Amino acid sequence: MKNSLQTDKKLNTITLIGPPNSGKTTLFNFLSGQNARTVNYPGSTVEYATTPLKTKYGIDAELVDSPGIISLMPGSPDEEVTINALFDHPRYGQPELVIVTADAGQLTRHLIITSQLIEAGFDIVLVLTMPDLLAKKGYRILSNELAIKMGCEVVIVDGRNGDGIDYLVETVKNKFERLQPDSGKKILNREQVSRKDQDGLLADYKRVESIVAGTIVSLEKIPDKRNLDKANKQLTVLDHSGGLNKIDASTINIDKYMLHPVFGILAFFIIMTGIFTSVFWLAIPFMDAIDGFFSALAGLAVETLGATWYGDFVADGMISGTGSVLVFLPQIAILFFILGLLEDSGYLARGAMLVDKPLSRIGLNGRSFVPMLSGFACAIPAMMAARTISNRRERLLTIFILPLMSCSARLPVYALLLAFLVPADKVWLGGIALAGIYIFGIFGSVIISAIANKFNNKLFGENDDSSFILELPSYRIPKLSVVLNNTWTSSYSYIKKAGPIILVFSIALWFLSYFPNPNPQIDTAGKSAEEVEEAIQIERLETSYLSDLGTLIQPAMTPIGMDWRVGVSLISAFAAREVFVSSLALIFKVTGEEDEIQDQLLGEMRRAEVGNTGQKLFTPATILGLIVFFVFALQCLTTVAVSRKETGGWRIPILQLILFTFIAYGATFLTVNGLRAIGIS
Partner 1 sequence: MRTAAEISNGEKAVIMGIDSTHPSSRRIIELGFTPGQEIELVTRSLFNDPLAFSIRGALIAIRKKEAASIQVI
Residues at the contact surface with partner 1, assessed by CB under 8 A: 70-71, 73, 75, 105-106, 108-109, 112, 197-199, 201-202, 205, 240, 244-247, 251-252, 255-256, 259, 261, 264-265, 349, 353-354, 356-358, 366, 390, 464-465, 467-474
The answer to whether 109 and 138 have CB atoms below 8 angstroms apart is: no
Measured N-to-C along each axis, helices 480-514 and 579-587 cross at an angle, to the nearest 10 degrees, of 30
Nearer residue to partner 1 within complex by CB, 9 or 361: 361
User: b/e string for 589-612 if b means 16 or more Cβ within 10 A?
Assistant: bbbbeeeebbebbbebbeebebee
Nearer residue to partner 1 within complex by CB, 202 or 480: 202
CA dihedral (578, 583, 588, 593) positive or negative: positive
Measured over all CA atoms, what is the biggest interatomic distance in the chain, rounded to whole angstroms? 109
Question: At closest approach, how far in Å is the CB of 85 from partner 1?
Answer: 20
Nearer residue to partner 1 within complex by CB, 70 or 501: 70
CA dist list (Å): 669 to 484, 550, 608, 621, 629: 45, 19, 20, 10, 9
Question: At closest approach, how far in Å is the CB of 197 from partner 1?
Answer: 8
Question: At closest approach, how far in Å is the CB of 193 from partner 1?
Answer: 13
Nearer residue to partner 1 within complex by CB, 270 or 307: 270
Question: At closest approach, how far in Å is the CB of 194 from partner 1?
Answer: 11
Question: At closest approach, how far in Å is the CB of 152 from partner 1?
Answer: 20
CA pair distance 333, 486, nearest whole angstrom: 10
Nearer residue to partner 1 within complex by CB, 109 or 645: 109
- The DSSP symbol for 155 reads E
Question: At closest approach, how far in Å is the CB of 660 from partner 1?
Answer: 30
Question: At closest approach, how far in Å is the CB of 362 from partner 1?
Answer: 14
Return the number of other C-beta atoms located less than 10 Å from residue 23's C-beta.
22
CA dist list (Å): 259 to 163, 245, 338, 342, 369: 36, 22, 20, 15, 16
Nearer residue to partner 1 within complex by CB, 30 or 468: 468
**CA angle 487–160–126, rounded 5-degree value:** 95
Nearer residue to partner 1 within complex by CB, 197 or 530: 197
The answer to whether 410 and 434 have CB atoms below 8 angstroms apart is: no
CA pair distance 562, 557, nearest whole angstrom: 5
Question: At closest approach, how far in Å is the CB of 353 from partner 1?
Answer: 5
Map residue 39 onto helix, strand or coil: strand
Question: At closest approach, how far in Å is the CB of 397 from partner 1?
Answer: 17
Among 36, 43, 57, 218, smallest CA distance to 645 is for 43
Nearer residue to partner 1 within complex by CB, 160 or 240: 240
User: b/e string for 318-356 if b means 16 or more Cβ within 10 A?
Assistant: bbbbbbbbbbbbbbbbbbbbbbbbbbbbbbbbbbbbbbb
Nearer residue to partner 1 within complex by CB, 356 or 534: 356
